[in-house]
Amino acid sequence: MTARQVLGRGLGALIPERPSSEPEKKKNLQTCGIEEIRPNPFQPRKKFDDAQIEELAESVRQKGILQPLIVRRQGDAFELIAGERRWRAAQRAGIKEVPIVIRDADEPEALELSLIENIQRENLNAIEEGEAYRSLIEQFQLTQEEISQKVGKDRTTVTNTLRLLKLPQEIKESLINGLITMGHARAFLGLEAPEKQRQALRKVLAEGLSVRQTENLIKRLRAKEKTAPSPKNPDWRHPLAEELQRILGTKVNILSRGKRGKIEIEFYSLDELDRLINILRK
């Protein structure tokens, strides 16, 4: 069975729960020194809660590691595919040997297995989950429908999680740190201008607004955007510049003198310039 055939079938496809014989059990389940294992560079989880690791470490001290780590061979050592929280907890608990299941996986397979297994099993925050979905799309050319089938989640959930990656970093960090919920973050997507989104976030945090209150706030702000001043208004350049910024995804200045003027479009790398040229050509 190939790596792709087992993906989406959960932990049971990776680790047989009830081996049919003792030799098969020994083949699939081994132990190794904890110092022989190194972390997975493709780990989708970026933030490990210290209190949760300590809680898991206490459980490991009392009951041991009940579920083996999934690893692959890397030279004389092993690289984690799934189970980094258990590995960290075992280190903290002072465990010297841990149960492992060795997968014969090359780097692309290891990355795909790691991402999907972590999405299925670990409690990733929404941004980490979105980044994992994006990796599956960009590196494995999976569609959102294929991802939803593999991880056992509705396609709408996958789509909405990916959309969160478009938010400003300030909002994403607030979501990661638990200052706002996914419901709050999704509401901010109703505003197109990043600065408007950040302003809305500050108001939500300052006033402790609920998700429903945040949605109402976004509706009011959107209504104001629709009543932007016309070119006859002295401030006509600002809303038009904002509209161009939303379209181009970069800073835009409109300079005018009488009936003449110019539009300045900023770019910060040659790749950025190529992207802007492609937009303008379309």
Instruction: Please write the tens of the pLDDT for every residue from 8-23.
Output: 444 344 433 334 444 4
Instruction: Please write the tens of the pLDDT for every residue from 53-73.
Output: 888 889 888 888 888 988 988
- Domain match, 222 and 244 both: no
Instruction: Please write the tens of the pLDDT for every residue from 74-121.
Output: 888 898 888 888 888 999 999 889 999 888 877 767 777 777 776 766
Instruction: Indicate the pTM of the whole model.
Output: 0.56
pLDDT for the residue numbered 24: 42
- Domain match, 255 and 214 both: no
- Domain match, 186 and 83 both: no
Is 155 contained in some domain?
no
pLDDT for the residue numbered 1: 42
Return the residue matching tokens 């022989």.
Answer: 36
- Domain match, 201 and 277 both: no
Return the residue matching tokens 């903290």.
Answer: 92
- Domain match, 93 and 205 both: no
**Highest-confidence segment of 57-61, 151-155, 229-233:** 57-61
Is 231 contained in some domain?
no
- Domain match, 217 and 263 both: no
| String of DSSP letters for 118-156 | HHHHS---HHHHHHHHHHHHHHH---HHHHHHHHT--HH
Is 156 contained in some domain?
no
Q: pLDDT class for 46, splitting at 50, 70, 90?
A: low
pLDDT for the residue numbered 218: 94
Beta carbons within 8 Å of 70's beta carbon, 6+ residues apart = 14, 15, 80, 81, 82, 83, 100, 101, 103, 113, 117
- Domain match, 22 and 64 both: yes
Out of 126, 142, 169, a domain closes at 126
- Domain match, 7 and 113 both: yes
Q: What is the mean pLDDT of the chain?
A: 80
pLDDT for the residue numbered 234: 52
Contact 47, 125 (CB under 8 A): yes
* Domain count along the chain: 3
- Domain match, 83 and 21 both: yes
Q: Which one of the listed residues 84, 112, 117, 128 is annotated catalytic?
A: 84
pLDDT for the residue numbered 212: 95
Range of the domain at 198: 181-226
Q: Is position 84 annotated as part of the catalytic site? A: yes
Share of the chain above pLDDT 90, in %: 25
